[in-house]
Amino acid sequence: MNTVHSFSGNVRTGRSGPEEGRNLLPIFHLFLALICSLCLILVPFSQAAEEVKINAPAPDFTLSNLEGKGISLSSLKGKVALVAFWSIYCHVCRQEMPKLDTVYKKYKDKGLEVIGVAIDQEPVETIQGEVRKDGLSFPILLDGEKKMKKAYQVRAVPATFLLDRNGVVMDKQVGVYNWSSPASEQLIEKLLKKK
């Protein structure tokens, strides 16, 4: 049996046994955890939809409204549209939605459609109750599975897309934005005048 003296004065055998393997086990677990973490981070980026760009067609969708009827973006062709992603639990969203409703009421007879896309997974009745509380009159669509949120690459709400009559994205705002500001109304009016 070979003995080796280490600097600490302990005696070790020259043979490797089960104890030597156990010393490497924590390092192996750390390495495995690192590889798994990288996969979890990188896989969503490789599967992500292409970012919605200004002056590019908006991704089409069909979602149910609060009454259960399916509404598609393509059915809005010929109208200028504001597509607003929001949540009933988002305080700033709840501040923005009444402003969007004001714009909707002002321009709906001139060809503007406002669509609220609720990303909540709550029952329809809960979302309906919150919509009633806020006094919203424009259609609310349900995206509880967040398919459209992913297709539009929405990372934060509120996120609102302004589309021209052909479904092309003309503007995108993330965060609270005053769509009834003079500059916003001027852009909406300009798009409404184009046939």
Taking only the tens place, the pLDDT of each residue in 37-82 is 444 344 343 344 467 899 999 999 999 999 999 999 999 999 999 9
Domain boundaries, the chain: 3-47, 62-193
May I ask the CATH architecture of the domain 62-193?
3-Layer(aba) Sandwich (3.40)
| pLDDT tens, position by position, 160-183 | 999 999 999 999 999 999 999 999
Number of helical H runs and strand E runs in the chain: 5, 9
Q: Are strands 140-142 and 112-118 parallel, antiparallel or unpaired?
A: parallel
Task: Please tell me the pTM assigned to this model.
Answer: 0.73
